[in-house]
Amino acid sequence: MQRMTNSRRSKFATCRKSAWFAYELRLRPVSDGKALCWGLAFHDGNDALSTGDDPLARIATHADKLNAYDIAALQATTAAYAQHYGTDQYGGDPIRSEVSFRLPLVNPATGHKSKTFEVAGKIDAILPNAIRETKTTGSSLDDDRYWRRLLMDPQITLYYWAARELGYTVETVYYDVIRKPSMNPHLATHVEKRKYKKDGTPYANVRETDETPDEWYERLFADIMKRPDFYFARRKTPRTGQHVEELQYELWDVAKDYRQAQLNGRWYRNVSRMTCDYCSFFSICHGLTAWEPGETPEGFVCLEDPHPELGATDASSTTNSTAPEDTDAAAAVEANSDQRPESIGERAGAA
């Protein structure tokens, strides 16, 4: 079964061509790697907080993908997050942390399940009567538009619905947003710009050596604890049955259109300033980066799994549906699901 995640749904809804690059060719820009590793490492540390493990040690295991200063920044942010909110953050410890799930994609109009797609995702934490989602951002936490968008965010609705489908009692959603550090480690002053006093000592604004990762950790931790509201924000984002119903129809409609694009090999562009200017695939889509079908373009990598954020899915997070497979006209689009091209060359040619 193919997995329909919130990221895949969102990518396809924004621009079909972008979804083709990301999920059919499994391409990712090399520049996206650090951001993804940063987020995964933070979530790993946060998971350790929930399970009683050492979060700083857990973050240190990502040193093969992040440099020492990134590790120090993550450790300082996680330690400050834990100290700011405390251990009993929500009136009870998490029941489970980092819960991967796979659920049948069901047509809400007929009750029949998809033969091609299943719904997949990973919930940050399931709490007594709630779930928690944690996101990192480089933007200000005071932007009201950001918080208003969360009231409509399908991902939150998806995880709320999934937790209930897995048998948990969920009444609300806690949403934690953590701002990434905007300051940087102090580096040594360039030799030609260093100025010294008559006694040979450097002026106060001159550094002869780089700040060490340990020094960077201490300075960042102190800054976060001095102004925690700059770095941390938490709000409730409740969901209702109406939210869930709208999501179920949206997921089905998107999956149906996605399958049609796969079968037809047509992935239309959505060309606008709001899409192209922020698209990671603009250079290869526009032709600015030379690329032949069957090759991995320069500056990109080809993933084995187009959903690296999911990791391994726990078998206990999978439910079996008794819903019959959809055989109506709408589901006819999903026929011959095993005919997807497998190699990158075949996938490129299929578009």
Phi, psi angles (nearest 5°) of residue 324: -70, 155
Phi, psi angles (nearest 5°) of residue 145: -65, -35
Phi, psi angles (nearest 5°) of residue 234: -140, 135
Pairing of the two strands 129-137 and 27-29 = unpaired
CB 289 within 8 A of CB 299: yes
Q: Low-confidence residues of the chain, pLDDT below 70?
A: 32-33, 87-93, 312-351
Q: Which residues contact 20 (CB under 8 A, 6 or more apart)?
A: 261, 267, 351
| pLDDT for residue 90 | 62
pLDDT tens for each residue of 144-184: 888 988 889 999 999 999 999 999 999 999 999 999 998 99
Three-state SS annotation for 146-184: HHHHHCCCHHHHHHHHHHHHCCCCEEEEEEEEEECCCCC
> Does the model's pTM come out above 0.95?
no
Residue 215 lies in a domain: no
Q: Which two tokens stand for residue 34?
A: 């650090």
Residue 105 lies in a domain: yes
Residue 109 lies in a domain: yes
Residue 203 lies in a domain: no
Q: Which two tokens stand for residue 135?
A: 């996101």
Match 């960042």 to its residue by tokens.
Answer: 220
SS3 72: helix
Q: Which two tokens stand for residue 231?
A: 């770095």
CATH of the domain at 21: 3.90.320.10
Round the CA-based radius of gyration of the chain to a whole number and report it.
23
Range of the domain at 78: 2-185+220-350
Largest CA distance in the chain: 87
Q: In angstroms, what CA-CA distances link 36 with 29, 32, 121, 262? A: 11, 6, 16, 27
Give 336-343's long-range contacts (Cβ < 8 A, gap of 24+): 336/263, 337/2, 337/115, 337/116, 337/259, 340/2, 340/262, 343/294
Residue 130 lies in a domain: yes
| pLDDT for residue 313 | 47
User: Residue 318: what residue type?
Assistant: T
Residue 111 lies in a domain: yes
| pLDDT for residue 347 | 34
Residue 202 lies in a domain: no
Domain count, the chain: 1
Residue 324 lies in a domain: yes
